[in-house]
Structure 1
Amino acid sequence: MLPTTKNLVLLLLGMSCSISLCLGDDTVVPQGLDPTPFGDEFPSLDGWATGQWWTKPSAQGEESLQSPAGNKKKRRRPPVPFQINIPRDEVIAFAIYTVTVPPGTPTASTLKLSAQLFPLKPGESNQVRLEVDRGTGWTEIGKATINYPGWDASFRIPKWDATKSVPYRVRHGEHAEFSGVIRPDPATKSEISVAVMSCNSSRTPGQREALINGLKKADPDLLFFAGDQTYRHTEHTIGWLEFGLQFRDIIRDRPAVTIPDDHDVGQGNLWGAGGGKASTSAGDTGGYFYPTSYVNMVQRQQTSHLPDPVDPAPVKGDIG
């Protein structure tokens, strides 16, 4: 190849790459994350995990927020009780799942699993992979796109064999992963045990070590979180992450049902009202106060792993 021809080819390849970057690569997190994804009326909604989140105080650790040397002012606390800007091989916070078993045909079951990630940065992969080990090594069985806002991703795997215990892992990039076990259907048991919980106060942050140890000892077949998984109100992504970090060592290896309640969607009360509009976040009139896009993000994060709904049609306001 003549030098001039070779240079021309390289130039064209370079132009092609540049055009691809300009148009955007849908396999990576884009450079311009929308800082107000829920509209101008609520510019701060879920703000700790949106836009250039890594530049905000919520992304700074307590050490970096300490007063300068010689300053006797009280040390400032970070806005959230855990680090958000974490090592990139730890970005998968947790996974949560259920398995729907048709009567009499456990090998035709449906596995639904959701993965929750810490906020990602521009240029990082916006996809996660689901792998299982059925005794012959790890095999990829699904790939899912990470949602923004929310930083969650969902898998739906049909024809799942619910008679077997199967290790799984969710992977992101080259090194990040979260692992657990898909339990078999306890069909041979004469009775099953269910652990029921609700109202996970955000005023008492930190791990739930005693509770988790008790749950492990009881070894329930199913976990049911009946609402108010978080009280972070207008910061659901951070609140949901907080919940997952507290309970991930028990939800990683057994099915779990989570249903949102009033505080999950940022309200003091929630009457539903068929999806009608509430006049204030107190929620004592009408239905939902915050935008449909925010309510649907909350519902997606908390319920995408649940069995398929009997009626998937949204209610008033396109909530569903």
Structure 2
Amino acid sequence: MDNTDNLFHPSLEAAVMKLDPEDGEQIIDYFKTHALLTREKALLQASVREQKKLLVENAKLKKDIEQLKTQLQDKQRRRAAKSLLPTAPPPQTPNLTSTTAANQPSSPAGATGAFQVNPLPSSSSSHERREKHSRRRRGERKARSTSDLLSLGMESQVDVSRLDLRVGRILSARVHPLAEAMIVQEVDMGENSSRTVVSKVGQEAKPEELQGSLAVLLCNVKACKLKGVVSQARLLCCCISDDCVELLVPPTGSTPGDRVTFLNYPGEPDRELQSKEKVWELLQPDLQVDGRGVANYKGCSFEVKGKGLCRAPSLTNCIIR
């Protein structure tokens, strides 16, 4: 209690002892302990606020670094594309002086007047015109191919912000009539009507246990038929093996339709992912659950703003599929 001795005036201690000689010391010890705990709590809260401030600043720095990296890559692509631009040879003009001199008849001594330039043969001029025309066409084709390279270099970056991830509630679940390993679910996504989702959630999962559960779904995939049933979204699961699968769970208090976002990737999702771009296939290897059970993309957590982080119920250090 030495650290709190300076919090109490001797006269206050004397007054307490006078009021209650028997329990006065215990009362003073109680107040000193309470004062010490209050001070430690204040220090801890200040430390937590400072830590949160540092986390926000670090996230901002990461975002700035990613933007600078993207700008540098774009500049490098433009520079590489410019180096591929064809350099057209300078147009070759016929040497009129030498041609004139070769075709000009010698004038007699003392003759005066202007020299008459003989015209070039018609076959030679038409051949040159054809050559120039063909060179021009070849140059246009090369320039067009280089512009295609430039457009490829400026293609948009592929990151997790292109995925439309939202919270959904499983209203009902049943085994697929044509595939026992698949489950057909009706999911409330906060829209006017529910979505049908066909997924493979492991052999241990029972349809009746899924009913009423909250889950995270990828909503901007193209609808497709799976064994005759149209699936309108993709259910995200945490997976170690085909026999060890869990639903990715949104934070407590989430409601159907809540968006899952990423602090370092604030872009808007695509209206619909194009299958030829293979966006999901490119991003899926970086979607993982860390050692704390928190879902993340390249270390950036899955987050429902104002409600918390998405987690695996019990698995750690596994993939998300």
Q: TM-score under structure 2 normalisation?
A: 0.22
Computing the radius of gyration from Cα coordinates, the structure with the larger value is 2
Name the structure, 1 or 2, with higher relative contact order (CA <8 Å, separation 6+).
Answer: 1
| Structure with greater helix share of residues | 2
Q: TM-score under structure 1 normalisation?
A: 0.22
